[in-house]
Amino acid sequence: MATFILVLPLAWLPASLACRLARGLALPAWFLARRRRAVTLSNLRHAFGATWSEKKIHSVGLESWRRVAVSAVEAIQIQRWLQDRRFVDSVVWSGPWEQLDQRQRAGEAFLLVSGHQGPFEVILPLLVQRGWRMGLLSRPVKNAYIDRAMDWLRGATVPTILDPAGALPEMGKALRGGISLALLIDQNTRDGVFVDFLGRPAATTPSIGVLTRRYQVPVVYLQARRLEAGKRYRLHCEIADLPWGEGVRSHVLQVTRTATARIETMVRETPADWLWLHQRWKVRPDGSREFLI
């Protein structure tokens, strides 16, 4: 989250210039933030160490930081970009969007699932611009100042933001009211369920399993790509084919495992797009401490 503070002065610059400067700011941050760099490299070694050279691991790690910096610019500037009809018209929509648009206009709600990958911060503003009724499931950030800043940034384009911890009644009310809910499922979750992610058990939010079980809400995977940072983006959708477990526990585990596997596929397609600096495997099944390699 400190990345947003770092790039805040770029908020008023032209989009392409701001994105280029953000990439440049990632280099000194890479050398100064030793702990986060160590987490990044350790995560990449665990995931790709058997097939990648150490040089490639460092290269992809640094590139991932550059793209995180660009994501921060996108979060800060997206409101301004959406006022430009040329930007809105340049977005490439791939997947069954027409079908989903029709169902959404008819009052059906969806769970929209993605990860901290690529330009994920542009997804919800683009959907709201398209006419979707949207809400976001997002845990508060520990730093209260940054949390308020994030709520301010996202709240300008996404009117409903819910904390997934203890907000089940509000989620149900939103879904029954035709409001689709978006969530990112690739963060460490202390009270999550353990499923395999990039070769290691990862504590993962059970929200998808719980909500699909209780409300029979359909799930859609979303993936954003930069075609030209600050100018052109692609937003791909895919209707999820999820299992239905016999009992609640079985259902939650199967759905969480299946959805996480789909996010992993996205990460493996473009590794540098993912948030490797996040300590995804901090919570371990046996309660032990994660050691970086």
The residue ranges of every structural domain in the chain are 2-273
* 185 φ/ψ angles, rounded to the nearest 5 degrees: -110, 15
pLDDT under 50: residue ranges of the chain: none
Name the nearest CA neighbour of 62 among 279, 271, 291, 282. 271
- 92-130: pLDDT as tens digits: 999 999 999 999 999 999 999 999 999 999 999 999 999
Which residues have a Cβ under 8 Å from the Cβ of 56 and sit 6 or more positions away? Answer: 48
Query: What does DSSP say about strands 193-197 and 200-204: parallel, antiparallel, or unpaired?
Result: antiparallel
- 9-29: pLDDT as tens digits: 788 899 999 999 999 999 999
- The length of the chain is 293
CA distance 22 to 7: 6
CA distance 182 to 123: 9
Q: Are 161 and 140 in contact (CB under 8 A)?
A: no
* 228 φ/ψ angles, rounded to the nearest 5 degrees: -155, 110
Name the nearest CA neighbour of 146 among 6, 288, 292, 293. 6
pTM over 0.75? The answer is yes
At residue 23, the pLDDT reads 97
At residue 142, the pLDDT reads 60
For 27, half-sphere exposure in the C-beta direction (CA atoms, 13 angstrom radius) is 4
* 133 φ/ψ angles, rounded to the nearest 5 degrees: -90, 115
CA distance 117 to 123: 11
CA distance 15 to 104: 31
Q: Are 16 and 231 in contact (CB under 8 A)?
A: yes
At residue 62, the pLDDT reads 99
**For residue 284, what are its two tokens?**
């371990």
Task: Locate all alpha helices (DSSP H) within the chain, ordered by sequence.
Answer: 2-7, 15-32, 34-48, 54-81, 85-90, 97-105, 123-130, 144-155, 168-176, 207-215, 248-269
At residue 152, the pLDDT reads 63
CA distance 285 to 159: 36
At residue 148, the pLDDT reads 65
Quickly count: other Cβ atoms within 10 Å of residue 219's Cβ: 20
